[in-house]
Amino acid sequence: MSHLQHNKVLKSVLCSMVKLVLCVTVLGCNRDAESSLPSPSTLDGTQATPLQDETLPGLKLPSKVDADITSVPRFAVFEQTFEHSGNYSNPYQQVNAIATFTNPQGNTASIPLFWDGDRQWKVRFSPDLEGNWSWTVRSNDAGLDGQTGSFPTIASTAKGGIQTWQDFPYHLQHQDGTPFWLFGETSWRILGSDPSEELDRDSFEEYVDRRASQGFNFIHTNVLLPGENEGGTAFRNLRNEQLDPGYWQEVDARIEYMNQRNMTVMLFLAWADLETGWRRQLPWRTPQLDWRNFPNQPARLRYARYLAARYSAYNVGFSVAGEWDEFGDRVMHEEIALALQEADPHDRPITIHPGAVASVTEFANEPWMTFGDYQQAYNRLHDRILEARVHEKPVINSEYAYYLRDQNEDGEVDKPNSSTLEEIRYASWDIVMAGGYFITGWGSTYFGGGRNPGPFAPDDPRNVGWEENAQHIRDFFTALDWWTLEPNSQLLSGAGTHYALADVGRQYVIYTRGADASIALNLENANQSYTVKQFDPRTGTYTTLADHEDSTVVMLQPPDRQDWVFLLEHKLGSGE
C-alpha cells in the first residue's frame, strides 16, 4: 500500500468516528402518482416542472447511523431518504417535493427534496435551535406526499455556517456568533477528476489537508466546471436535463470533507459562457457546462433550486455565476439569485462574480446579495475596496492574483500581481488594509493543474514562500479584534505607500512600504500612552519598540524601504 493510500484509509477510519448523518429510508406507498395532488408553483405562478434534486444542505456528515439514533446536534445535518411511487422518464424534471420544518418556537422553513437516483429522494436540513423539530412533505408524487416526522435537536460545539455580522456589517461571523476572518483560496476544478492532471479524490484530500493546516477557511470552486469526477458526469445530457446523481454524490463527499476541516465552500453554480476568449483554447473533456448551454431559463432555475436543496445545509455559499456579464442579462441572473434564496432556508451567503467589468457593485443593494462587492480586480486594489464599502457590507477581492501562473507554459508568469513574492504580498496587504478580504491562488492548484505547466500540485515547493507570507497576514489580524478596525489613512503623513486601520483611541495598524523616512501618525489625543510593535510581514515576527507616551503625533521609522507593519495598542489606565 502506498503512502497516499495508507493516508486515505487512515483518514476514512478517523472520519467515520466523528461523522453523523441521520438517514432513515422511508419506502413510498404504491399509490398512483397520477392522483390529483397539488403541484408546487414557480415564482411566477405557473406550474413548476418537477423539482427534485433539491435537499437541505448543511453540514452533513458522511457516515450513516441507525435510525434509532434520533437526536440531531445543533448545526449538524438531518438527512432523510424517501422513495417516489410514480413512474417517470425524468424525475428531476417531473416531480416536485417540498419539506416544511417547524422549529421549537413554531416558526416554519421550507426546502425542496432532491432526487438522488433511481426512485430515491432526500431532504437535508441543518437545525439552528435546540428543541423539538417536526417536518412534513408536500409533493405531486403520492409516495412522497404526506410524509411526516420529527427529531430533537441537542446542544453541540459546532459553529454553523457563515453570515454577515449585523453589529459589524463589513465582516462575517459563524451562526453561533464566532468571528470569521475570511482566508480564502480559489480552486475552480477541485470537485472534479482529471487523470491527465493527476486530479482525483486522493490529490483533492491532500490539497484540502494542506490548506486546512495553513489556516485556510474558505474555498472557491465551480460545481459544473470539472464536468466529471469518479461518480460520473454532472449532466449526461444538459440540453435534456439528464442529471447524473453519481457525480453529485461525489461532490457531496468532497464538500463534507472540506466542512469537516472548517472550510466554507463557495459554490459557483456555473460559468456564464465557457466559449469566450481564452476558454476556447481549453481542452475540455466534457460538453460545455455553462449557463449558455442550458436549454432555457426554467432549466437554470430548476438547477439553482436543486443546488440549494442539496447543499445549503452544509457550510457553503453560492455564486450565481462566474463572469456573469459574458452571457445573459441582469434579469436572468437576478432570477437565478432569487430562486437560490427562496429554496435555501439556511440563509447562506449569495454573490455573483464579474468579468471584464471587475466589480459587481450594481448588485450590492439587492436583498439577496451578501457582499458590497465581489471583485475580479487586478489594479487599484486598495481604492476599489474603499469605494465598495459605501454599501456597508463585506467587500471581497475574489480574484487578484494566481501566484506564478504560466498559462502559456512559456516560462513567463502571465498574471498581474503574481510574478514575485513581493508583488502578491503587496497586493494582499493593499486589500486588507482597506478593510477588505482577499481570495488568493496558486498557478499549480487554482485550475486543477490546468492552465499551468505540470499537474495539479498542492505541494509544489515554489508555493511555500507565498503560503507562509499569506499565513502571516491571517495570523496578524486574527490576533486582534480586527472587526473594530476602520480605514483611517488620513491620520498618516510621510513618504512611500502607507495605510492605517484604526479603532481610534484604542488600536492602530499602520502598513508602509517604499518609505525612506519616518511616517507620522496623528493620534488626535495627547493624553494616552501606547505600546508599539513592529511586525515583519516576511517572517511573521514582532519587534517590541519603545512605548509612546503622551503626545499627539507618533513618528514611526521603518527599518528600510521594504514593507513593514506597526501595531499600536492603548495602555490600560492611560488617559482614562
How does DSSP classify residue 115? Answer: E
Amino acid, single-letter form, for residue 434: A
Closest to 189 in 3D by CA, of 233, 229, 150, 160: 229
Query: pLDDT tens, 86-127?
Result: 999 999 999 999 999 999 999 999 999 999 999 999 999 999
| pLDDT recorded at residue 526 | 75
Distance (Å, whole) CA 65 – CA 51 = 28
> Cell 435534456 sits at which residue?
240
Q: Is the pLDDT score of 3 beyond 60? A: no
- Whether the CB-CB separation of 318 and 350 falls below 8 Å is answered with yes
317's grid cell: 455559499
> Cell 489537508 sits at which residue?
209
Q: Is the pLDDT score of 455 beyond 50? A: yes
Which domains, ranges and CATH numbers included, belong to the chain? 19-154 (2.60.40.10), 162-483 (3.20.20.80), 486-570 (2.60.40)
- Whether the CB-CB separation of 119 and 83 falls below 8 Å is answered with yes
- Give strand ranges (E) for 459-496: 486-487, 492-493
| pLDDT recorded at residue 573 | 67
Q: Is the pLDDT score of 34 beyond 60? A: no
| pLDDT recorded at residue 465 | 98
- Whether the CB-CB separation of 557 and 520 falls below 8 Å is answered with no
Query: pLDDT tens, 262-300?
Result: 999 999 999 999 877 656 666 544 558 999 999 999 999
Q: Is the pLDDT score of 480 beyond 70? A: yes
Distance (Å, whole) CA 470 – CA 417 = 14
Residues 6+ apart with CB under 8 A from 127: 72, 74, 75, 76, 78, 101, 103, 133, 151, 153
DSSP assignment of 128-157: -SSEEEEEEEEESSTTTTT-EEEEEEE--S
Distance (Å, whole) CA 190 – CA 186 = 9
| pLDDT recorded at residue 525 | 82
Tell me, rounded to whole angstroms, the distance of Cα 574 from its chain centroid: 42
Distance (Å, whole) CA 301 – CA 267 = 16
Q: What is the mean pLDDT of residues 319-332?
A: 96
Distance (Å, whole) CA 178 – CA 366 = 26
Query: pLDDT tens, 147-173?
Result: 999 999 999 999 999 999 999 999 999
Which band of pLDDT confidence, cut at 50, 70 and 90, is reported for residue 575? low
Distance (Å, whole) CA 108 – CA 534 = 52
What would you measure as the largest C-alpha separation in the chain, in angstroms? 84
Ranges 66-80, 254-268, 398-412, 554-568: which has the least confidence: 66-80
Output 215-218 pairs: Cβ under 8 A, ≥24 positions apart: 215/183, 215/471, 215/474, 215/475, 216/183, 216/184, 216/185, 216/263, 217/180, 217/181, 217/182, 217/183, 217/184, 217/262, 217/263, 217/264, 218/182, 218/183, 218/184, 218/185, 218/263, 218/264, 218/266, 218/439
Paired residues of 114 in beta bridges: 122
Looking at the chain, the whole-number percentage of residues with pLDDT higher than 90 is 82
| pLDDT recorded at residue 17 | 36
Distance (Å, whole) CA 154 – CA 55 = 22
Q: What is the CA radius of gyration of the chain?
A: 25
| Count of beta carbons in the 10 Å neighbourhood of residue 17 | 7
| pLDDT recorded at residue 173 | 98
Q: Is the pLDDT score of 419 beyond 60? A: yes
| pLDDT recorded at residue 527 | 82
- Whether the CB-CB separation of 359 and 328 falls below 8 Å is answered with no
Query: pLDDT tens, 499-556?
Result: 999 999 999 999 999 999 999 999 988 789 999 999 999 999 999 999 999 899 999 9
574's grid cell: 492611560
- Give strand ranges (E) for 294-432: 316-319, 350-351, 373-375, 395-397
3-state secondary structure of 300: helix
Q: What is the mean pLDDT of residues 50-72?
A: 41
Output 169-173 pairs: Cβ under 8 A, ≥24 positions apart: 169/392, 169/393, 169/394, 170/372, 170/389, 170/392, 170/393, 170/394, 170/395, 170/435, 170/483, 171/394, 171/482, 171/483, 172/349, 172/394
| pLDDT recorded at residue 12 | 43
Q: Is the pLDDT score of 497 beyond 80? A: yes
- pTM to 2 decimal places: 0.89
Amino acid, single-letter form, for residue 444: S
Query: pLDDT tens, 379-391?
Result: 999 999 999 999 9
Q: Is the pLDDT score of 30 beyond 60? A: no
| pLDDT recorded at residue 274 | 84
Cα angle, residue 8 at apex, residues 6 and 9 outer, rounded to 5°: 65
At 218, give phi and psi (nearest 5°). -155, 120
| pLDDT recorded at residue 278 | 59
